[in-house]
Homo-oligomer: A and B are copies of this chain.
Amino acid sequence: MSEKRLYEQVYDAIKENILNDYYKAHTKLESIRNYAKKHNISTTTVEKAYNQLAVEGYIASRPRSGYYVTDITKIKKQFQSVTLTPIAYHPHPNDRITPCMFETKAYKKTVNHVLNYDTETLLSPCHPSGEPRLREQIQRFLREERNVLCDVNQIVVGAGIQSLLHILLGITQNNNVMYLTPEFTKAINIFRQYQYTLIEKASFLDLLNTPSDFLYISPSNMYPSGEILKVSDRNKLITWAHDYDAYIIEDDYNYLMRYNSQVIPAIQSFDESHVIYIGSFSKTLLPSLRMSYMVLPPKLYALYQKKYFNFAQGVSKLEQLSIAYFMESGLYYRHLKKLSKLYKDKNEILLHEIAHYQSDQFTIRSTDANLHLVFDFKQKKDCQTFIKNCHNLSYKYQKIIGTNSIIFPYSGIENTAIPKITKALLKNI
């Protein structure tokens, strides 16, 4: 790469002469033969350089006459090799998963399986909705684990929830979205980008009297408390959606078989006509895997069908087929079972450890289906101390605006490190 080929040197020399005005516009260049002879190089080399200069427009050939310098406005490239302030992005040690929570070996096997046996498939573009083989697996998974019944065509795969919302807002023409605070920023920002009116509500009961086009909610794992919306409330939601002809966007972002209780069926299983179900692999497989899917109600599928060719699939086929195979072979199911046990253990160890310190200064909200806690501090100063302690550890946290409550993820903390870290987090509280 670094060694300059001969013709490039010729090209560079002539180009520089043109840019320096040494070769004036409209003057004739030496013939290829003369140039070659003078510099003792082959005519092929010179011809290649001349061709390149002509292709880029520095010189032009006139039939039966030769090459002439073009009249070009001088190119004065003034590149200021500025070093820009980098984006302040630091991965937080608590906002990741621990090595035992990912099946490296099994996943490697599936990726290689695809690379060995599906190479031909990789050579053609992706299906806009996602590979049929993957969507069949998602369909089966949703039916068995979430009570979600749907046709495979209703499933659309995308590179994360933002991609899916871009598609959803691309096929509908609505104006507003309602959600409970604190908002799930990554999702709500997409609605912001389309200038939607944002209707924030503080409690579930406030939702039911307000009309809106979309309701964004996670009924099986309300954020951040982890509460489950009860059946009676789910029914009220469905009635609300019918009354206002609204769509519920059910973000099932952190589905896990709960260890102490059976599966909570998705709200989509109560009414498929007014619910857009969204699921993801980030929380249940790998945070750095960018793959989500949505189930469109039949009415929206009809709209999607008319416009699907507008949307390019965002997930690479290798990854889609790897996950399909991971599910087909039962590895994903086995992994989810293992994961829910790991979640439960980690949660118990952490709560047990915090109990040593627990005073009157704060209470804890927690479930074994989440890998975050909510600390509700009684006093502002303790909340601030906790934030300071997080900063000292480079730990991630989210303050719930207008409260003394902190959402604290702990998926990246090894069980053995929990005592030490709890101590550091609760220092001076």
Q: Which residues of B contact A51 (CB under 8 A)?
A: 260-261
Chain A, residues 255-283, CB within 8 Å of chain B (1/0): the string is: 00010111011000111100000000000
Closest to A119 in B: B104
B108 touches A112 (CB 8 A): yes
- In the complex, the chain B residue whose C-beta lies closest to that of A287 is B125
* A254: Cβ under 8 A from any B Cβ: no
| CA distance in complex: A274, B49 (Å) | 29
Nearest-Cβ distance from residue A248 to partner chain B, whole angstroms: 15
The verdict on A87 contacting chain B, using a C-beta distance below 8 Å, is yes
**A1 contact set on B, CB distance < 8 A:** 144, 333
- Report which of B81, B112, B305 forms a contact with A87, defined as CB distance below 8 A: B305
A120 at the interface (CB under 8 A from B): yes
In angstroms, Cα B233 to Cα A284, docked, is: 53
Q: Mark A159-173, 1 if CB is under 8 A from B, else 0.
A: 111110010011000
The answer to whether residues A87 and B153 also contact, given A97-B123, A123-B99, A272-B79 and a CB cut-off of 8 A, is: yes
Of the listed stretches A27-35, A224-232, A418-426, chain B binds A224-232
A413 CB–B CB distance under 8 Å: no
Within residues 186 to 245 of chain A, which ones have a CB less than 8 A from any CB in chain B?
186, 189, 192-194, 228, 230-236, 239
Q: Which of A282-317 contact B (CB under 8 A)?
A: 286-291, 298, 301, 305, 308-317
Count contacts on A: residues with CB < 8 A to the other chain: 113
* A115-B108, A159-B315, A261-B52 as given contacts; A82 in contact with B151, CB under 8 Å: yes
Instruction: Give Cα A308 to B85, complex, Å.
Output: 13
B57–A230 CB distance below 8 A: yes
A144 and B1 alpha carbons, distance in the complex (Å)? 8
Interface check A89, CB cutoff 8 A: yes
Q: Does A182 contact B (CB under 8 A)?
A: no
User: How far is it, in angstroms, between the C-alpha of A165 and the C-alpha of B188 when the chains are bound?
Assistant: 18
